[in-house]
Amino acid sequence: MTPASAWVRRWSHLIPTGGRVLDVACGLGRHMQWLQQQGLPCLGIDRDPVSLQTAAAFGEVLQADIENHAWPLKGQLFAGMVVTNYLWRPLWPELLACLQPGGVLIYETFALGNETVGKPSNPDFLLRPGELLEACQNLRVLAFEDGFCESPERFVQRIVAVNTYVNDATPPRRYLLERPDL
């Protein structure tokens, strides 16, 4: 199995300890495996039942076609959410509504320009410049990248954002930007 994304590994320490994490379009569960190793219980959602058989070794799984049917997790809250190599814009409001206060969104997917180096090449599945920033405008953005990666060649956007409410009466939470064990 492909190892967890470096972006997910770098930022997963921000997910509240013991909090349940949703892995959207989880595939075989590579991120679920990493998160489970970090002590985080996971729910992976994907439409492919064969992939979910492997992912089930790393947590709970749910088979659902989230592009053609109603969002099956309405009303559920998660301490963390991981989305990689997946883009379905109509789902964004549902995803963000499932992020509990203090919950962390870790998102990484393909961006415009990727059509020059490979798949996906359909603009429906490529983020426009700054699009993740727009989608997360009501969250506290801790990290954002929009650029080109060499190995393998791909154009990506990445974001880490927290569903937070800033109250002047409480001290600011310290979000560690460096992970000492990596």
CATH superfamily of this structure's domain 6-162: Vaccinia Virus protein VP39 (3.40.50.150)
Round the CA-based radius of gyration of the chain to a whole number and report it: 16
Q: What is the pLDDT of residue 52?
A: 98
In this predicted structure, which of 19-33, 79-93, 96-110, 113-127 has the lowest mean pLDDT? 113-127
Q: What is the pLDDT of residue 169?
A: 55
Q: What is the pLDDT of residue 178?
A: 75
- Report yes or no: 155 and 114 within 8 Å, Cβ to Cβ: yes
Query: Domain residues of the chain, as ranges?
Result: 6-162
Q: Whole-angstrom Cα distance, residue 158 to residue 148?
A: 11
Is 60 exceeded by the pLDDT of residue 166? no
Chain segment 70-109, per-residue pLDDT in tens: 999 999 999 999 999 999 999 999 999 999 999 999 999 9
Q: What is the pLDDT of residue 164?
A: 82
Residues above pLDDT 70, as percent of the chain: 93
Band the pLDDT of 151: cuts 50, 70, 90.
Answer: confident
Residues above pLDDT 90, as percent of the chain: 84
Instruction: Using alpha carbons, list the distances in angstroms from residue 127 to 24, 119, 122.
Output: 17, 13, 10
- pTM here is 0.92
Is 70 exceeded by the pLDDT of residue 143? yes
Q: What is the DSSP letter of 32?
A: H
Give the number of other Cβ atoms within 10 Å of residue 39's Cβ: 10
Q: Whole-angstrom Cα distance, residue 32 to residue 133?
A: 25
Q: Whole-angstrom Cα distance, residue 24 to residue 72?
A: 12
User: What is the pLDDT of the chain when averaged over all its residues?
Assistant: 92
